[in-house]
Structure 1
Amino acid sequence: MAFLEVEDGKRVYYEHHAADGRPVVLVHGWAANARCWDTTLLALRAAGHPVVTLEHRACGRSDKDFADTSIGAIAADVVALVEHLGLREPVLNGWSLGGAVVVEAGRRLGANLGGLVLTGGATPRYTAAEGWPYGGTPADVEGVLAGLAADRPGTFRAVADAVCVKPVGEPVVQSIWQAFLECGPGADATLRDLAHVDQREILPALSCPVLLLCGREDGFVPFDAVAASQSLFPDAHLVEFGGVGHAPFLEDGETYRSELLAFLSRTGR
């Protein structure tokens, strides 16, 4: 348990579970926190991988009063943490909005990027645009933010209920909801920024191995969008999770962990 000062005396929370294998950095989704990765973390540690988790600006135990909570700012924190810990060619795994974060962080890491894992990753776009007919609209995002402004607990509960399609039990849904309730209003600006981020020019320049893990019934990042993104990467492998929603690591954890460890084995040093 530690904090990294990243901007104007403000800090982000992180954990560094040291080991000797290929380092893996786990980046959570919008408004969540690092605890969502606990079962994944245990599997990675058991396989000998050093694991780093962090919590976005305005989320979890990180400071809530950052002036800048954009995708780029959070990506800069990931890069700063990789450099602070001296990680060599880490694999970055981003869930949902965290997918956009790790793509931008990977671009900045350049030759020191070992690989990318996109778990229902919201890249190259979260919303539809010319030449990209997938996802909703910025107006849809503004509707969610308006709901948060009117009834933050209720809106977050509705989002938590929609994350998983496969039954995972009330304790899991409750844990997602509680994580959402821990985030500060700054996380709202992160989602608003995501609605306008376009990474279509970045993906072809990422020559590292990429693993795409996506639920067929994902209600937040359409499976067809993830499938379309595969062709933009020079080296990407897609794994489809049938009957699964937005959180394959929670809904089909055994398969998820198996695919992740196999990818790391193929790309390991």
Structure 2
Amino acid sequence: MPTITTADGTEIFYKDWGQGRPIVFSHGWPLSSDDWDTQLLFFLNRGYRVIAHDRRGHGRSAQVDRGHDMDHYADDLAALAGHLDLRDAVHVGHSTGGGEVVRYLARHGEGRAVKAVLIAAVPPLMVQTEANPGGLPKEVFDGLQDQVARRRSQFYREMPAGPFYGFNRPGVEPSEALIQNWWRQGMTGGAKAHYDGIVAFSQTDFTEDLKKITIPVLVMHGDDDQVVPYADSAPLAADLLKNGTLKTYPGFPHGMPTTQADVINADLLAFIEA
């Protein structure tokens, strides 16, 4: 099983398939690199090298009790990019993974990257503050932590069965296979990492990070995202980027890389090859 060991001794699992131009995928909370399997196979079959890791405490990476914050997430990604000596990479991040990509580029520079994609991503800032009145109240995220602490397994059933994939919308047929796969990925990871990760994705302010990024960035977001609300995320992030392009998907849910993979993959390919 391919792994690297970070500077603080944390073992990080990763997938590295194929040859050619590298595309690096950063997954969302509380999932794993398996959430990208559809994208990994799509781009692998088109001649790309595809790389995805399990964030610390998630999936098959070590369930450490430390470092569950955006700086460590970014440092772990930098360690992986350095270990694999990636050049001219495209970084794609979904949800929390989008925050990880933004912090990585701002904290470690763009020397190894040429483009980035943020899909239903958490930047600039999810939590409501005086400077971010459109954000969600902190009590929302406190409630998520309470769910993880008290009833994680059931919560990880309810999230994909409802708002994550939009299966709670009228006329949308739930997929039991997707629900169970989400639950499997979540329960493989560590409760401490997931508990702390809620603070990381909700309270990290990426405003200054976004301003530092100069490479082309595609910001993709569904306007029916019930997890990371559209109005206070994608349009604001795109405006803060020096070279950002916003693409809005009417009616698409938070988990659109899975439920609308054909559309998302085609648009990713077009951006990467442009």
Superposition TM-score, scaled by structure 2 size: 0.92
Deviates more, 1:73-82 or 1:164-173: 164-173
For the 8 Å contact 1:124–1:229, the answer to whether it is kept is: yes
Residue aligning to 2:255: 247
* Structure 1 position 12 matched with structure 2 position 12: yes
Residue aligning to 1:218: 225
Once the two structures are superposed, residues 54-112 of structure 1 have per-residue CA deviations (whole angstroms, 9 ceiling, x without a partner) of 00111000000242111110110101100110101211111101111110111113333
Distance 1:168 1:49 in 2: 32
Distance 2:228 2:243 in 1: 21
- Aligned to 2:262, the other structure's residue is in SS state helix
Once the two structures are superposed, residues 115-174 of structure 1 have per-residue CA deviations (whole angstroms, 9 ceiling, x without a partner) of 111010101112122332333122211111112211111122222222111545110111
Residue aligning to 1:187: 194
Residue aligning to 2:83: 84
Distance 1:140 1:146 in 2: 10
Residue aligning to 1:204: 211
For the 8 Å contact 2:122–2:202, the answer to whether it is kept is: no
- The count of corresponding residues between Structure 1 and Structure 2 is 265
Distance 2:186 2:128 in 1: 25
Residue aligning to 2:153: 153
Deviates more, 1:57-66 or 1:124-133: 124-133
Distance 1:115 1:127 in 2: 27
Distance 2:157 2:37 in 1: 21
For the 8 Å contact 1:92–1:106, the answer to whether it is kept is: no
Residue aligning to 2:243: 235
Distance 1:168 1:57 in 2: 30
Within the candidate set 143, 152, 175, 1:169 is matched to 175
Moved over 4 A (4+): none
Residue aligning to 1:53: 52
Distance 1:76 1:172 in 2: 31
Distance 1:151 1:98 in 2: 24
Alpha-carbon distance change, 242 to 88 in structure 1, aligned in 2, over 3 angstroms: same
Distance 1:65 1:96 in 2: 22
Aligned sequence identity (%): 25
For the 8 Å contact 1:124–1:198, the answer to whether it is kept is: yes
Distance 2:48 2:130 in 1: 41
Once the two structures are superposed, residues 24-58 of structure 1 have per-residue CA deviations (whole angstroms, 9 ceiling, x without a partner) of 11000011011111111111112211111000111
What do you get for the CA RMSD once the two structures are aligned? 1.5
Deviates more, 1:73-82 or 1:238-247: 238-247
Superposition TM-score, scaled by structure 1 size: 0.94
Residue aligning to 2:96: 97
Distance 1:248 1:133 in 2: 26
Deviates more, 1:53-62 or 1:233-242: 233-242
Structure 2 gaps of 5+ residues are 167-171
For the 8 Å contact 1:216–1:241, the answer to whether it is kept is: yes
For the 8 Å contact 2:68–2:196, the answer to whether it is kept is: yes
Distance 2:226 2:61 in 1: 28
For the 8 Å contact 1:57–1:66, the answer to whether it is kept is: no
For the 8 Å contact 1:167–1:251, the answer to whether it is kept is: no
Amino acid at match of 1:155: F
Distance 2:248 2:242 in 1: 19
Q: State the Cα distance separating 1:8 from its structure 2 match.
A: 4.0
Residue aligning to 2:265: 257
- Aligned to 2:240, the other structure's residue is in SS state coil
Q: State the Cα distance separating 1:113 from its structure 2 match.
A: 2.2
Q: State the Cα distance separating 1:19 from its structure 2 match.
A: 1.1
